[in-house]
């Protein structure tokens, strides 16, 4: 069974500083994908960034980067230059395999609530 662990229920960061949100995963499959989603107080889940298990480079999307350490089974999200609008719940998720059917499922962690202070 797959499992995602986010050990930080809440995090605080000063505006303009960088912050790292932790995510570790557990799977016996070799093919998997890791996702980060943002959920603002409005409730809608927003896809941020993706890392495939065979990707050799860490994924980056603007101010978001994913620190992927395969041997440690970690996929931490790094947000650079935090903004007040980054205050939200952040979820790490994993999909196993690529061939369809139940491989379309995502397993989510419990989330980390990030608060950006002015």
Partner 1 sequence: DVKVTQSSRYLVKRTGEKVFLECVQDMDHENMFWYRQDPGLGLRLIYFSYDVKMKEKGDIPEGYSVSREKKERFSLILESASTNQTSMYLCASSDATAFLYEQYFGPGTRLTVT
Q: Footprint of partner 1 on this chain (CB under 8 A)?
A: 6, 9, 33, 35, 37, 42-47, 50, 91, 93, 95, 98, 100-111
Q: What is d(CA 107, CA 118) in angstroms, rounded to the nearest whole number?
A: 33
What is the Cα 33 distance to its own chain's centre?
A: 11
78: tokens are 């790094």
Torsion angle defined by CA atoms of residues 13, 94, 61 and 46, in that order, rounded to the nearest 10 degrees = -70
Q: Which two tokens stand for residue 108?
A: 């989510």
């Amino acid at each position: 069974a797959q499992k995602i662990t986010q050990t930080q229920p809440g995090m605080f960061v000063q505006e303009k500083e960088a912050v790292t949100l932790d995510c570790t995963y557990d799977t016996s499959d070799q093919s998997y994908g890791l996702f980060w989603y943002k959920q603002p107080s409005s409730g809608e889940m927003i896809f941020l960034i993706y890392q495939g298990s065979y990707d050799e480079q860490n994924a980056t999307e603007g101010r978001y980067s994913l620190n992927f350490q395969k041997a440690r089974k970690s996929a931490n999200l790094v947000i650079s230059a935090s903004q007040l609008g980054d205050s939200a719940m952040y979820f790490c998720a994993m999909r196993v395999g690529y061939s369809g059917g139940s491989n379309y499922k995502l397993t989510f962690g419990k989330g980390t609530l990030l608060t950006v202070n002015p």
